Amino acid sequence: MAPLLEVRNIKTYFNTQDGVVKAVDGVSYDVNRGETIALVGESGCGKTVSALSILRLVGEPAGKIVSGEIIFDGIDLLKLSKEEMRKMRGAKISIIFQEPLTSLNPVLTIGRQISEGLEFHKNMSPSEGMEEATRLLKMVGIPHPDRRVHDYPHQFSGGMRQRAMIAIAIACQPQLIIADEPTTVVDVTIQAQLLELIRNITKELNTSLILITHNLGIVARYAQRVFVMYAGNIIEYGTALDVYHSPYHPYTAGLLGSVPRLDEPRKARLQPIEGQPPDLIALPVGCSFQARCAYFVPQCLKEKPRLIEVAPKHFAACWVSQKELKPWQIL
């Protein structure tokens, strides 16, 4: 059975004063029905843009999807008319943004902001919409939803706002939800609650989920598969466990290094990721990680590594790891 979403080699570029920013430069991944995948990477590695590309919300005219295919439920979203695409948004695919305060309209009540989507896609009357909104708020665990539905965003706490965002996202029972770093702005205790909430809801509605995060730690628990992005490319992917336990790409390893791991005793000290990600306007020839990689071989400067199946269902794009062994095991 075909996956719900197939992203094929999309390139999303931004025109800026200073030049063309290749935010997403040929990324491919897929999501099965009911599956949760994670897009992982440092901020600015293009994971958010690749997600927005799915909804075709990369702010035109500056940002543009220059090539690629996004097959959702058998149809190429990039070929849809504006109108058809609009009907997709919120109804079939919805998104939870990372900054709930700025992502909610300050001058509209939470209720209205939840119900308006319903009014469009489920053509409910405003009053029905409000009832549904109340139900949804209850579902995402807002106390006294009947009262809170009339509140304005600034009257909600950070966590509650994010719950409201979730309510908006699930309002029309979409088949795919994109959660863009949903927990970065809330503190750790609430993080867990929210992620649990998202997981339960997706289970309940059998919705697919793209979880975007820079925290590999949570990935293992919530996602089935992980796609690691760096400088607009996917440099490694596989099942959450494989990637988590035996990363092939030095970058992934680095990311893991930046996560405290209680399950394994520390062996060799890992390299923390030093330096800055490359300038997306002027990408270097060869591997884009070269500058920060402790293990690079001359080849890294010449040619860009392609994703190779380094282990069953486990792919990585790294010249060193082509040698069937993890870079740091050379040492």
Residue ranges in contact with another protein by CB under 8 A = 15-20, 55, 57, 59, 61-62, 86-91, 94-95, 97, 99, 102-108, 113, 116-117, 120-121, 152, 154, 165, 168, 281-282
Nearer to another protein (CB atom), residue 133 or residue 216 = 133
Q: What's phi and psi for 167, nearest 5 deg?
A: -55, -45
Q: Looking at the chain, which runs of residues are DSSP E strands?
A: 5-16, 19-31, 36-40, 63-72, 75-76, 93-96, 176-180, 208-213, 225-230, 233-239, 308-311, 314-316
Q: Classify strands 225-230 and 233-239 as parallel, antiparallel or unpaired.
A: antiparallel
Nearer to another protein (CB atom), residue 182 or residue 238 = 182
Closest distance to another protein from the beta carbon of 55 (Å): 6
Are the C-beta atoms of 35 and 100 separated by less than 8 Å? no
Nearer to another protein (CB atom), residue 79 or residue 154 = 154
Nearer to another protein (CB atom), residue 9 or residue 67 = 67
Are the C-beta atoms of 208 and 35 separated by less than 8 Å? yes
Nearer to another protein (CB atom), residue 62 or residue 311 = 62
Closest distance to another protein from the beta carbon of 269 (Å): 34
Nearer to another protein (CB atom), residue 89 or residue 292 = 89
68: its two tokens: 């690629």
Report d(CA 112, CA 126) in Å as an integer.
8
Closest distance to another protein from the beta carbon of 26 (Å): 20
Closest distance to another protein from the beta carbon of 311 (Å): 37
Displacement of CA 101 from its chain's centroid (Å) = 19
What is residue 49's DSSP assignment?
Answer: H
Closest distance to another protein from the beta carbon of 29 (Å): 20
Closest distance to another protein from the beta carbon of 235 (Å): 24
Question: Dihedral through CA 204, CA 210, CA 216, CA 217, nearest 10?
Answer: -10
Are the C-beta atoms of 235 and 317 separated by less than 8 Å? yes
